[in-house]
Chain A
Amino acid sequence: MWRYIGRKLFVYLLTFVIAVTINWMIPRFMPGDPVRSMLARASVGNPEALERMTTYYNEVFGLDTPLYQQYFSFWGGLLRGDLGVSVMLYPEPVTDVILRAVPFTLAVLLPAILLSWVVGNHFGAFAARSKILDNTILPLGYVLTATPYMWLALLLAWSLGVVAGVFPVANGYSFSLRPEFTWLFISDLISHWFLPFLSMFVVALGGWAIGMRNMIIYELEADYSNYLQALGAPRRLVRKYAFRNAMLPQITGLAVQLGTIIAGSLLTEIVFNYPGLGTLIIQSLNSRDFFLLQGIFLFVVVGVLIANFIIDIVYVLVDPRTRVQMTGGSS
């Protein structure tokens, strides 16, 4: 088991190093001068401030030092928790800007992932081998997985927000309120949170239902299921055993799908102008704030790695055999 965890940790460490290297390489090896293209769009009226920013960023990039030195100083800054200074919100450190947005993203992401996983698995298990449900839930599941996250978000915002007027369709909370621990503010927060959450939840649901349905069909054909059936075990009991076995690939699937779901949450946030990382990405793109963008990239990568590690540990706890799954084909 420790061998398994150690192996996984090595992959994650390697991924982190590669991600940081990508992050370091992209501005330096893409065509054009990163500092000039970054500051060209930054709306800085004061020439003196612009000059100060230019020297700061030139120094940070260190474009006149040898490449290997740039690389190591990049790591040095990173390990001190210094991701640079935002252009958009100069002179605020990128880390602070990101940390302010992370709670909003997590608040939508975590419940949506966990709930859709649980509900989707149960739906899928229920639908397997029942002709009517299979022919209704299955196509619906495929339509849901094929739905672009932002489109469902738009539809929900339009139907429940604009037309019905039940939920607010933009921002994380009303501008008339200030963040505080009152019932009014919290209920406002929840009403703004609900639509982004709902659209994430619904889109993610389909994939889990389909995956579970396929796994259950596969498990119901296994010898142990046939044996149980031959012994005259009730249908429910056979299903229960099949479900427990079918869970394992679904846990691995959670790790595989994580990147897609996070991308989906970023897109969903943009539709609702929800103050999480997605909205921050689009703001940093619009003001060409590459430091902020790259900081967000590192944050997301680290988040994904941590989540993967947690899933690995859960897997070890759930499956005593803990062999590396080589079954692939999870889509």
Chain B
Amino acid sequence: MTNVAGAPGAQPAAEPAAPRKGSETLHYARRNPKLLIGLGIVLAFLLLGLIGPLFVDHGPNEYVGPQSQPPSGEFWLGTTSFGQDIWAQFVFGVRTTFLIGVFGGGVAFVIGTAVGFIAGYKGGIVDEILNMLTNVVLVLPAMVVLIVAIAYLDARGVFVQGLFIGLTSWPWAARAVRSQALSLATRDYVDLARLSGRRTGKIITTEIAPNMSSYLVMSFILLFGGAILIAAGLDFIGLGPSDGVSLGLMLESAVAWSALQFGMWWWFVPPGLGITVIVSSLYILNVGLDEIFNPKLREL
């Protein structure tokens, strides 16, 4: 059988193709500095947010030290004008930042992909209606809607904030997923699946979604970063979690208590730097992923 040319010969050739493709992705992934740097920084901050708070033996909002101290050996990032430990606030804030990113980005991702898939796959009147809905939410300025909606809530938590952020920031993802799904929906294998009588949901999850998985991952990362930025803005306006700690809330209290005028840079530089570094690493990680999955963009 091995010496018969033709179809059986093609079989073994097709078999190693799958692992080779996987290792090709890995090959480029390991050589892509953007991916490595971005991923490294994001993971480092994730680790900081996960285990950092375990090494802080007092609450982030407790008055533990002398007031308005610049960074020192005892208080790594100094203290606020009330004697709160800024390092403690920072590590707890990083934790909140990831939480809001995953949750807000997750909600937006679920809505966006659901709307995008259904609109792109179903077409016709469903597509028209969903497209209209997407356009309406896209035009509405998300942040301003959020300000009005959240202002009426008396008790606010990270999850409520994440839910609201998710509900307003999904449209562009829906658009992007829709245009991809639209082109995949007319492929032969999708037609075949439809002819064999599989249900729509099954076809979307087993035939269409896996073929644009890299695209979905990148959409999620962008939504993740976007949710972090929106949350920081809301926290800064004073609509953050009522009893929590976040990087945006740190910026808010720094401005509210005139850290700027007193030159207490250690109060407002770290939280903003944290947000910037986390989100820009996410973006750069995304570019790295794009270059790996999209051969056209690889550096020549």
**Hey, which bits of chain A sit against chain B, CB under 8 A?**
11-12, 14-15, 18-19, 22-23, 26-27, 30-32, 34, 37, 131, 138-139, 142-143, 145-152, 154-155, 157-158, 161-163, 169, 217, 221, 255-256, 258-260, 262-264, 266-267, 270-271, 281-282, 285-286, 288, 290, 293-294, 296-297, 300-301, 304-305, 308, 326-331
Contacts and interface: CB of A to CB of B under 8 A. Distances in A.
A18 B136 contact: yes
Interface in B244-295: 248, 251, 254-255, 260-261, 263, 265, 268-269, 271-273, 275-280, 282-284, 287
B178 interface: yes
A57 to B, nearest CB: 15
A26 B154 CA distance: 13
A221 B300 CA distance: 13
7 contacts: A15-B140, A32-B152, A151-B268, A151-B272, A151-B276, A266-B237, A327-B179
A221 B275 contact: no
B255 A271 contact: yes
Nearest to B232: A148
Given A32-B152, A297-B147, A328-B178, A262 B141 contact: yes
Contact of B261 (A12, A147, A162, A305): A162
Contacts of A18: 136, 140
B265 to A, nearest CB: 6
Contact of A11 (B136, B225, B277, B278): B136
Contacts of A155: 269, 272
A98 B182 CA distance: 44
Given A32-B154, A154-B268, A285-B239, 9 more contacts: A11-B139, A14-B136, A34-B152, A142-B284, A146-B278, A158-B268, A162-B260, A262-B143, A301-B140
Interface string B128-158: 0000100110111111110111011110000
Contact of B139 (A162, A294, A308, A329): A308
Given A26-B152, A143-B276, A297-B145, A267 B260 contact: no
B152 A258 contact: no
Contacts of A23: 148
Closest 10 CB pairs of A and B: A151-B272, A263-B143, A146-B280, A146-B279, A259-B141, A328-B176, A30-B152, A328-B175, A143-B280, A142-B283
Name the prevailing secondary structure of the B interface residues.
Answer: helix
A246 to B, nearest CB: 15
A273 B151 CA distance: 20
B291 to A, nearest CB: 11
A139 B209 CA distance: 30
Nearest to B233: A267
B260 A293 contact: no
B35 interface: no
A56 to B, nearest CB: 20
Contacts of B145: 19, 22, 297
Interface of B: 132, 135-136, 138-145, 147-149, 151-154, 172, 175-176, 178-179, 182, 222, 225-226, 229-230, 232-233, 236-239, 248, 251, 254-255, 260-261, 263, 265, 268-269, 271-273, 275-280, 282-284, 287, 296-297, 299
A293 B147 contact: yes
B148 A297 contact: yes
Contacts of B248: 148
A282 B151 contact: no
A109 B135 CA distance: 23
A271 B272 CA distance: 13
Contacts of B176: 328-329
A277 to B, nearest CB: 9
A285 B152 contact: no
Contacts of A32: 152, 154
Contacts of B268: 151, 154, 158
B146 to A, nearest CB: 9
Contacts of B178: 328
Contacts of B226: 331
Nearest to B261: A162
Contact of A147 (B132, B238, B276): B276
Contacts of A27: 152
A270 B141 contact: no
Nearest to A143: B280
Contact of A151 (B148, B149, B222, B275): B275
A157 B260 CA distance: 8
A290 B148 CA distance: 8
Contacts of A296: 144
A267 B237 contact: yes
Nearest to B283: A142
Contacts of B239: 285
A311 to B, nearest CB: 11
A288 B296 CA distance: 53
